[in-house]
């Protein structure tokens, strides 16, 4: 009887561990379409590995402005705090982009979410696929076997600096770039942590020859590197690094950089894969972790069933690994995506693919369950 009771307790503990709560934020444009496929893939993983996911859906961006007038409502924030992880689609709508007088914009919701949830570390893996080497505008021998990670500081710098604004006559505008040493240190610690589990190399990208904030970055990061000699450390200017990334992307392991530079350089790196539709990301903080594709809302494709869901599906794989510690489940998704690529079951952004968003998702699900 004691053994039976003990086994029941273990079973209850196991069920509790395997039951995960996920906040689902579809957002704008193609966000709902790609999120739908990622959720379907997660359900397939749950079936295969005997997990249980509880989802709560919330509005953000233009979808939230249109209904409640706030791009990041309190209800959405509460659902994010309730969750074990957040799966996010995209933000942005042309009716706000093309309206200079708009007082509230969808992107404010994304910045508010990052700030209030403390999502200070953005992790963007860049990986080439052998089946897509000819899809990149770069030569196959340049992009072959590329595998690096961009670790971007996400809640400081010029995107969050104050003061900012425009003069009354509209002819003068200003933004403030601001960093504190402790903000730089915590993202540096994260970058070195990732490097320690990879090829043990960190490259800082900055503009220390011009910017005072970049000089602070160099001081903090070089000081930390001196205390961690097991990691090879180097610092490069962002402009020359942008050139080197196209010429010799294999030289990188972990790239560490600030908010705006990280935003730009990781989008540049998308040419290595041949499409933005394959690049996932994680935003890690003290209160929460969020997973999203790096592409935007792509409003031109909204409702046409042509958006590539793979970046969102791979973001879900990152969630399983980073937030839940489920490496086998994450690898299963990654292998299914790679199989779809090898069989050319892709959307039009890859080699003029002929498959729809839902068909790609269904194929990946089938590969997971086989």
Active-site residue, selected from the candidate residues 72, 96, 159, 355: 159
For 278-337, write each residue's pLDDT tens digit: 999 999 998 899 999 999 999 999 999 999 999 999 999 999 999 999 999 999 999 999
Report the pLDDT value the prediction gives residue 320, as an integer from 0 to 100. Answer: 97
- CA dihedral (323, 326, 329, 334) positive or negative: positive
Active-site residue, selected from the candidate residues 207, 322, 339, 362: 207
Q: 106-116 and 74-82 are packed helices; what angle lies between their axes, rounded to 10 degrees?
A: 40
- Report percent pLDDT > 90 for the chain: 82
- Which residue spans within 79-129 are E strands per DSSP? 85-90, 121-127
For 39-69, write each residue's pLDDT tens digit: 999 999 999 999 999 999 999 999 999 999 9
pTM, 2 dp: 0.88
What residues contact residue 259 under an 8 Å CB cut-off, 6+ apart? Answer: 152, 153, 154, 155, 156, 157, 158, 159, 160
Active-site residue, selected from the candidate residues 20, 263, 349, 355: 263
For 172-209, write each residue's pLDDT tens digit: 999 999 999 999 999 999 999 999 999 999 999 999 99
Report the pLDDT value the prediction gives residue 101, as an integer from 0 to 100. Answer: 67
Annotated catalytic, 263? yes
Annotated catalytic, 239? yes
Report the pLDDT value the prediction gives residue 155, as an integer from 0 to 100. Answer: 93
Report the pLDDT value the prediction gives residue 151, as an integer from 0 to 100. Answer: 97
Domains of the chain listed by start with CATH number: 20-124+275-370 (3.40.718.10), 137-165+174-273 (3.40.718.10)
CA distance 256 to 213: 14
3-state SS class at 324: coil
Annotated catalytic, 207? yes
For 107-153, write each residue's pLDDT tens digit: 999 999 999 999 999 999 999 999 999 888 899 999 999 999 999 99
Active-site residue, selected from the candidate residues 267, 322, 339, 362: 267
What residues contact residue 358 under an 8 Å CB cut-off, 6+ apart? Answer: 36, 37, 305
């Amino acid at each position: 009887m004691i053994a039976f009771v003990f086994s029941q307790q273990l079973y209850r503990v196991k069920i509790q561990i395997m039951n995960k709560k996920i906040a689902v934020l579809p957002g704008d444009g193609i966000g709902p379409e790609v999120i739908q496929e990622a959720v379907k893939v997660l359900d397939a993983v749950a079936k295969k590995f005997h997990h249980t996911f509880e989802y709560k859906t919330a509005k953000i961006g233009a979808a939230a402005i249109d209904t409640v007038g706030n791009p990041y409502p309190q209800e959405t924030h509460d659902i994010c705090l309730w969750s074990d992880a957040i799966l996010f689609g995209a933000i942005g709508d042309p009716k706000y982009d093309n309206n200079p007088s708009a007082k509230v914009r969808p992107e404010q919701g994304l910045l508010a979410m990052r700030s209030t949830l403390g999502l200070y570390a953005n992790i963007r893996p860049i990986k080439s696929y052998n089946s897509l080497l000819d899809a990149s505008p770069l030569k196959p021998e340049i992009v072959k076997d590329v595998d690096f990670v961009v670790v971007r500081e996400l809640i400081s710098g010029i995107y969050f600096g104050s003061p900012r604004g425009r003069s009354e006559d509209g002819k003068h505008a200003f933004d403030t770039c601001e960093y504190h040493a402790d903000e730089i240190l915590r993202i540096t610690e994260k970058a070195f942590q990732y490097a320690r589990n990879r090829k043990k190399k960190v490259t800082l990208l900055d503009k220390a020859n011009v910017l005072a904030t970049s000089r602070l970055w160099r001081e903090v990061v070089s000081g930390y590197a001196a205390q961690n000699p097991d990691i090879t450390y180097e610092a490069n200017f962002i402009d020359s690094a942008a050139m080197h990334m196209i010429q010799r992307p294999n030289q990188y392991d972990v790239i560490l950089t600030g908010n705006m530079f990280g935003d730009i350089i990781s989008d540049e790196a998308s040419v290595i894969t041949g499409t933005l539709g394959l690049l996932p990301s994680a935003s890690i903080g003290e209160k929460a972790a969020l997973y999203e594709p790096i592409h935007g809302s792509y409003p031109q494709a909204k409702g046409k069933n042509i958006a590539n869901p793979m970046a969102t599906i791979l973001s879900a794989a990152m969630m399983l690994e980073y937030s839940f510690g489920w490496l086998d489940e994450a690898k299963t998704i990654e292998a299914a995506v790679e199989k779809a690529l090898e069989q050319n079951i892709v959307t039009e952004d890859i080699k003029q693919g002929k498959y729809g968003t839902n068909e790609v998702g269904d194929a990946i699900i089938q590969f997971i369950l086989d």
